[in-house]
Amino acid sequence: MGQELQEAAGRLGLDAEKIARARECARRIAAPIHEYISIHTTISIERSTLRALGADGASGDGVPVPNLAVDSVKGELGKGAARYYVGALVETGWTVEEMNLKLASGYELSRAGVVDKAGVERKAGELTRAYCKRVKDNLAFRAKKISERSERENSPLLYVIVATGNVYEDAKQARAAALQEADVIAVIRSTAQSLLDYVPYGPTTEGFGGTYATQENFRVMRQALDEAGDEIGKYVRLVNYCSGLCMPEIAVMASLERLDMVLNDAMYGVLFRDINVYRTFVDQHFARMVNALSGEVINTGEDNYLTTSDALEAAHVVLASQFINERLALDAGLDHSLIGLGHAYEINPEIENSLLYELAQAQMARDIFPKSPLKYMPPTKHMTGDVFRGLVMNSMFNLVSKISGQSIHLLGMLTEAVHTPSMQDRFLAIDNARLVMKAASSLGDEIEYKKDGVIAKRAALVLDMAAEFLERVAESGLFAAIEEGLFADVKRKPDGGKGLEGVIEKADDYWNPIQDALESELFQADGKGGD
């Protein structure tokens, strides 16, 4: 820890003690939340558990099997749905596949207690080990490919988005982007999927503003990117959204289909989708444990604050949220190397020295979170439709990202605020980034920031304000702070928002073999997860 602080003081000469105090506040903020998390489950966690155990498929009218299974034992969920699902498998002697078909055509799980307890535990152990093996095999496959093929990767990784609504079109566009040297492809979700309390089943070709996240769609994209990667000798990373009411389920699906990154923010759903606070915090913890086991990099969503708040005025809230996201992620077993904290280039470009302020923010994040694969988001708010100016803004963004050593770089599109990116827009974005980053390849190493200069002073100020802000939140508690609108100027009541009815207090005999396995893998194996 001592050494980390030294590094953290970093290139801008930030006050290491202040950084440590901010981390301590984040710890104080997280502690009471964990008390709540540990004694609750949610319907989405229960569905995720069944998914990990093998539940899949959907009924004729499209209700997913995990929903059917969990809904059939509603009222008993405090004990965990796994005992009923596995209990039925043992009782009937059906395979998981047979059980899925039966459930899809109307079979209901029995609410009666488990008879053969030893048999159920044995079966659950078998299914849990199979799940963990598949996830670890995926992790090993990824690690091997990346280590063999890292030469072609850009630094930072260039991240682009596809959003056609049709998974087969997405696959084509993603392939094109990969061939043009993009490293990371994210599929935007259909608008409002975050508010569905189920995950649609099968491949989909109709979406609004994006494509539904389904396990089959994940598989289609994975295959397309693996093929494109083999062609060009690179491992192309796949991203989707682990957010909304089905956060834990998406995490399990992502772990099965070898997604490499997921957007997963502890507070995004609360602030920007009006999902209930309790639901969100319980869900994010389970989801992040799954992400941790899978070795998926999470991307947090601090960039979103700047769409509702002013980027200069709210800079410290972005930093404060990074501290909180980091703490909650560590607590869920994620290693620093998997915590892709987010931030964005959103200061009004008309402000004098805006580029310096952006550099201050980006370098500050790098200095304070030296091991985090920071995710840097492009200008969107001040993109006007003037594509020529847009290209200039993106170039400035690219330059700041390279100088400050960001890790994951979401490419700005010159047609932002006009239309979803066309093929040539993506090409121009990649071309721009590669040109700027090549031209400025070693610039970051050459720069020593002037002591008491505009950049160092700005970063120090933001850190000061963030530390103060975190003190306030630690005093009042995170829920109260959210209620007051301290984050992103959005106010949420603890018992308001969507999905609270899906939060269930755990009974004394709550049983969840997947959660048990996650916890033993993440927290007992090698002491990973703490810092």
Partner 1 sequence: MLIRPYGDRLNDGAVQLSFTLPLDASGKAVEVAREYVLRLGFESCEVAHASPLMEGFTMFVAYGWTNVSIDPDEVEMDPGLYERSMDFHEVNAFIKEKIERKLVVVGACTGFDAHTVGIDAIMNMKGYDRHYGLERYPMIEAHNLGAQVPNRELLNKAVELGADAVLVSQTVTQKDAHLVNLRDFQEEIEKMGLKGRFILLLGGPRITHKIALEMGFDAGFGKGCLPETAASFIAQRLYERKE
DSSP-based three-state secondary structure for 58: strand
**Angle, helices 16-38/454-476, rounded to nearest 10 degrees:** 30
Q: Does 303 participate in catalysis according to the annotation?
A: yes
The one segment of 359-367, 382-390, 509-517, 521-529 that binds partner 1 by CB under 8 A: 382-390
The one segment of 11-19, 150-158, 367-375, 376-384 that binds partner 1 by CB under 8 A: 376-384
Q: Does 112 bind partner 1 (CB under 8 A)?
A: no
Exactly one of 381, 389, 472, 506 binds partner 1 (CB under 8 A); which one?
Answer: 381
Q: Does 375 participate in catalysis according to the annotation?
A: yes
342 sits in which H/E element: strand 342-344
CB 309, min distance to partner 1, A: 7
For the stretch 85-93, contacts whose Cβ atoms lie closer than 8 Å and that sit 24 or more positions apart, written own/partner, are 85/50, 85/53, 85/55, 85/109, 86/53, 86/120, 86/123, 86/124, 86/127, 86/513, 87/114, 87/115, 87/116, 87/120, 89/123, 90/116, 90/119, 90/120, 90/123, 91/115, 91/116
Of 235, 268, 376, 449, catalytic: 268
The one segment of 67-75, 125-133, 415-423, 514-522 that binds partner 1 by CB under 8 A: 415-423
* Positive or negative torsion for Cα 244, 247, 251, 254: negative
Cα–Cα nearest to 58, from 96, 104, 102, 98:
104
Q: How many Cβ atoms sit within 10 Å of the Cβ of residue 21?
A: 14
Both structure tokens of 271: 């602030």
Q: Does 431 bind partner 1 (CB under 8 A)?
A: yes
Nearer to partner 1, 131 or 272 (CB): 272
Exactly one of 149, 273, 389, 434 binds partner 1 (CB under 8 A); which one?
Answer: 273
List the interface residues with partner 1, window 475-514 (CB under 8 A).
489-490
Q: Does 272 bind partner 1 (CB under 8 A)?
A: yes
Nearer to partner 1, 68 or 242 (CB): 242
Beta strand spans in 188-313 (E): 237-241, 261-263, 297-299
Could you give the CA distance from residue 319 to residue 315 in angstroms, rounded to a whole number?
A: 7
453's CB contacts (< 8 A; 6+ apart) are none
Nearer to partner 1, 80 or 499 (CB): 499
Nearer to partner 1, 154 or 515 (CB): 154
Could you give the CA distance from residue 492 to residue 52 in angstroms, rounded to a whole number?
A: 32
Q: Does 424 bind partner 1 (CB under 8 A)?
A: yes
Both structure tokens of 194: 């975050």
Nearer to partner 1, 38 or 422 (CB): 422
List the interface residues with partner 1, window 182-201 (CB under 8 A).
191-192, 194-195
Could you give the CA distance from residue 428 to residue 432 in angstroms, rounded to a whole number?
A: 6
Residue 309: φ, ψ to 5°? -110, 165
The answer to whether the beta carbons of residues 119 and 108 sit under 8 Å apart is: no
Q: Does 180 bind partner 1 (CB under 8 A)?
A: yes
Nearer to partner 1, 304 or 401 (CB): 304
Both structure tokens of 451: 């002591």
Nearer to partner 1, 175 or 222 (CB): 175
Q: What is the CA radius of gyration of the chain?
A: 23
Q: Does 331 participate in catalysis according to the annotation?
A: no
> Could you tell me the CA-to-CA distances from 408 to 373, 405, 411, 426, 465 in Å, in that order?
7, 10, 9, 16, 26
Q: Does 141 bind partner 1 (CB under 8 A)?
A: no
Exactly one of 31, 392, 423, 507 binds partner 1 (CB under 8 A); which one?
Answer: 423
Exactly one of 337, 353, 384, 524 binds partner 1 (CB under 8 A); which one?
Answer: 384
Q: Does 232 bind partner 1 (CB under 8 A)?
A: no
Q: Does 176 bind partner 1 (CB under 8 A)?
A: yes
DSSP state of 174: H
Nearer to partner 1, 308 or 395 (CB): 308
Exactly one of 79, 288, 382, 458 binds partner 1 (CB under 8 A); which one?
Answer: 382
The one segment of 57-65, 124-132, 272-280, 452-460 that binds partner 1 by CB under 8 A: 272-280
Exactly one of 112, 115, 179, 507 binds partner 1 (CB under 8 A); which one?
Answer: 179
Identity of residue 517: A
The one segment of 36-44, 86-94, 290-298, 377-385 that binds partner 1 by CB under 8 A: 377-385
Q: Does 39 bind partner 1 (CB under 8 A)?
A: no
Nearer to partner 1, 180 or 372 (CB): 180
Site residue total, partner 1 (CB under 8 A): 37
- Nearest-5° Cα angle at 304, 161 to 436: 50
CB 62, min distance to partner 1, A: 17
List the interface residues with partner 1, window 307-346 (CB under 8 A).
307-310, 313
Exactly one of 32, 144, 208, 520 binds partner 1 (CB under 8 A); which one?
Answer: 208
Q: Does 441 bind partner 1 (CB under 8 A)?
A: no
Query: What's the burial of 520, exposed, middle or buried (CB within 10 Å: 0-12/13-18/19+)?
Result: exposed
Of 303, 331, 367, 425, catalytic: 303
Both structure tokens of 428: 């121009």
3-state secondary structure 178-196: HHCCCCEEEECCCCCHHHC
Write the DSSP assignment of 368-411 as a string of letters: HSTTS--EEE---TT--S-HHHHHHHHHHHHHHHHHTT-SEEEP
Q: Does 525 bind partner 1 (CB under 8 A)?
A: no
SS percent in the chain: helix, strand, coil, step 5: 55, 10, 35
* Catalytic residue annotation: 268, 303, 375
Residues engaged in binding partner 1 (CB under 8 A):
165, 175-176, 179-180, 191-192, 194-195, 208-209, 272-274, 307-310, 313, 348, 350, 380-382, 384-385, 417-418, 420, 422-424, 427-428, 431, 489-490
